[in-house]
Amino acid sequence: MAGKLEIINMALGHVGVDPVTSETGSSSCNTFYDNTIDQVLTNYKFRASQFRAKLVASSEAPVFGYSYKYQLPQGADQDTPHCLRVLELSIHGHYYTVTNRFLETDLTPVSILYAARPAGLGNMDANFFDIAAVELALKIAVLECGAKNARSIRQDLRQYLKFDIKPVAYAVDSFQTVEPDQRHTNEGVFLAARRGFRRHQLSSQLEII
């Protein structure tokens, strides 16, 4: 089962450094590891790191803008881990904003789907580990390889992340949930990602003709 050690060794491999045998074997990786994992879980959508929670309204209303505010999950237990990012409200179409760990909206009551770090990484898919390793490698490159060598390494890693990993991760995510208005579009999203959007370009050309 992949975990912290595997992410660390994948990151070290990306910058040309030998693997370590323990999670504490690389000081540079340990410096950036926790921040990197939270960053990846915040910036990308992985089903295994998504949770639902019914929020409790604050006794104080927002100063202006919205009628209600709700405290976001603080990680009091494993069922409601610390909220990294609000993904959606239980009722679509309502406006909201997040300010100082409170969600403000005119909707009441409120339940949310949100991103959080799970208790363990065992249920995360392979795309998560690939992305986390590259993001960690980007952070440790200077410490491990020096500023001069790190420049080209980081450039290659950014290209790898952009063109090889992200399209597949986004395509896989599109198949994890099918909303009523997505039933006929997911296949097109997946094929577009795998084919470099050639299908969309061809469609545009045909419309012009």
Radius of gyration of the chain (CA): 20
76-111 burial code (b ≥16 CB/10 A, e <16)? eeeebbebbbbeebeeeeeebebeeebbbbebeebe
Rounded to 5 degrees, what angle do the CA atoms 124, 129, 131 make? 120
pLDDT for res 196: 53
How far apart, in whole angstroms, are the C-alpha atoms of residue 72 and residue 209?
51
Spell out the domain ranges in the chain. 4-45+124-165, 50-116, 178-209
Calculate what percentage of the chain has a pLDDT beyond 70. 82
Q: What is the DSSP letter of 206?
A: H
Encode pLDDT of 2-24 as tens digits: 899 999 999 999 999 999 999 99
* Structure confidence at residue 76 (pLDDT): 81
- Can you tell me the distance from the alpha carbon of 163 to that of 166, in angstroms, rounded to the nearest whole number? 7
pLDDT band at 176 (very low <50, low <70, confident <90, very high): low
Strands of 83-89's sheet in order across: 50-54, 111-116, 83-89
Instruction: Give CA–CA dist 80/174, Å, rounded.
Output: 25
Q: For 47-61, what is each residue's pLDDT tens digit? A: 999 999 999 999 999
**Per-residue pLDDT at 77:** 81
The predicted pLDDT at position 189 comes to 46
Q: Is the pLDDT of residue 41 over 90?
A: yes
Q: Are 8 and 23 in contact (CB under 8 A)?
A: yes
So what's the pLDDT on residue 200?
47
Q: For position 1, what pLDDT does the model report? A: 61
For the segment 108-125, what is each residue's pLDDT rounded down to a tens digit? 999 999 999 998 999 999
User: Region 20-41: what's the mean pLDDT?
Assistant: 97
pTM equals 0.80
Torsion angle of C-alpha atoms 128, 130, 132, 135, degrees rounded to 10: -140
The pLDDT tens digits for 66-111 are 999 999 999 988 788 999 999 999 998 899 999 999 999 999 999 9
How far, in Å, are 71, 93, 161, 201 from residue 53 at the CA level? 11, 18, 32, 41
Coil vs helix vs strand at 32: helix
Residues in the chain: 209
Provide the token pair at 117.
């770090």
